[in-house]
């Protein structure tokens, strides 16, 4: 079901292989590591590559340490920009990371770019001597630049920093308010509203 959209554009190249693909073994998978789709970026910028299995807490712990406070890392350099990129099923996670980081570090300008990423795959046949095949797949990808310095507002995909209203920072106090006799769970770190169960977001 969720492969439907991801493989839409690649169906032309992959449909011929579809029947016996299960017997093939993928031996290499190289991503087209082209330049950033965002113009005018420094080469040594902090680039967070969000994958499908990356943990958001790991990514954000690293990124917030470099961005928050004085923004000084071990080398003593100031970090004013960070790029998050992800493709395929990692796109949602990339956006979630960016949204949480924007709440943690205030006043970040943002530019988002969408593009297709090409992935070359080499498949090996299980029979000895039989030729393997190479496949080219394209997956949707996103690349988001967050910057403490102002960016060009005319750039497509620009978003100005958001004004955070009040101290209702959901990222900070994530406790589980529940009935008194059960201990709070660390795993289900969600907010529960007990009294006001008809509450609607305004």
Partner 1 sequence: MTEPRNPSMSSVPQTAPAHTDSSSSVVEMDPVEYTLRKRLPRKLPKRRNDVYVNMKTDFRAQLARCQKLLEGGGHREICVHGLGLAINRAINIALQLQASSQGALQLAANTSTVELVDDLEPEDPDEAGEPMTRTRNNSAIHIKVFYPDTQLAQ
146 is a site residue for partner 1 (CB under 8 A): no
Ordered alpha helix ranges (H), 69-188: 91-104
Q: Considering only residues 44, 70, 149, 196, which one is a binding residue for partner 1 as defined by CB under 8 A? A: 196
144 is a site residue for partner 1 (CB under 8 A): yes
Range 141-157 burial, b when 16+ CB lie within 10 A, else e: bbbbbbbbeebeeeeeb
Residues 100-119 that bind partner 1 (CB under 8 A): 103, 110, 112-116
Cα dihedral sign, 63-83-168-187: negative
C-alpha span between 143 and 34 (Å, rounded): 12
- Region of 10-18, 41-49, 60-68, 137-145 interacting with partner 1 (CB under 8 A): 137-145
Q: Considering only residues 16, 23, 30, 185, which one is a binding residue for partner 1 as defined by CB under 8 A? A: 185
34 is a site residue for partner 1 (CB under 8 A): no
Q: Considering only residues 41, 95, 119, 122, which one is a binding residue for partner 1 as defined by CB under 8 A? A: 95
Q: Cβ of residue 156: shortest distance to partner 1, in angstroms? A: 4
Q: What are the C-alpha distances in Å from 73 to residues 51, 55, 78, 157, 195?
A: 24, 22, 7, 29, 45
Q: Cβ of residue 100: shortest distance to partner 1, in angstroms? A: 8
The tally of CA atoms less than 13 A away on the side-chain side of residue 93 is 19
Q: Which residues contact 90 (CB under 8 A, 6 or more apart)?
A: 50, 51, 52, 54
89 is a site residue for partner 1 (CB under 8 A): yes
91 is a site residue for partner 1 (CB under 8 A): yes
Provide the pairing of β-strand 133-147 with 81-87: antiparallel
C-alpha span between 84 and 92 (Å, rounded): 12
Compare residues 67 and 87 and give the one whose CB is closer to partner 1: 87
CB 92 within 8 A of CB 115: no
71 is a site residue for partner 1 (CB under 8 A): no
88 is a site residue for partner 1 (CB under 8 A): yes
What does the binding site for partner 1 look like in residue numbers (CB under 8 A)?
A: 1-2, 4-6, 8-9, 88-89, 91-92, 95-96, 98-99, 103, 110, 112-116, 140, 142, 144, 156-159, 170, 178-179, 181-183, 185, 187-188, 190-194, 196-201
């Amino acid at each position: 079901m969720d492969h439907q959209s991801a493989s839409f554009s690649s169906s032309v190249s992959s449909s011929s292989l579809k029947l016996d693909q299960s017997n093939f073994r993928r031996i290499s998978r190289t991503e087209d590591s082209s330049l950033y789709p965002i113009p005018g970026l420094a080469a040594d910028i902090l680039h967070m590559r969000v994958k499908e299995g990356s943990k958001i807490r790991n990514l954000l712990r690293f990124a917030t340490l470099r961005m928050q406070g004085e923004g000084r890392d071990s080398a003593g350099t100031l970090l004013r920009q960070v790029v998050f990129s992800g493709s395929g099923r990692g796109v949602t996670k990339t956006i979630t990371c960016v949204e949480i980081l924007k709440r943690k570090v205030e006043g970040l300008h943002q530019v988002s770019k969408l593009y297709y990423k090409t992935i070359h795959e080499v498949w090996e046949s299980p029979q000895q001597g039989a030729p393997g095949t190479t496949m080219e797949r394209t997956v949707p990808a996103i690349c988001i630049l967050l910057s403490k310095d102002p960016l060009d507002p005319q750039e497509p995909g620009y978003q100005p920093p958001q004004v955070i209203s009040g101290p209702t920072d959901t990222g900070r106090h994530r406790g589980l308010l529940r009935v008194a006799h059960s201990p709070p769970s660390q795993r289900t770190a969600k907010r529960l509203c007990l009294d006001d169960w008809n509450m609607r977001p305004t």
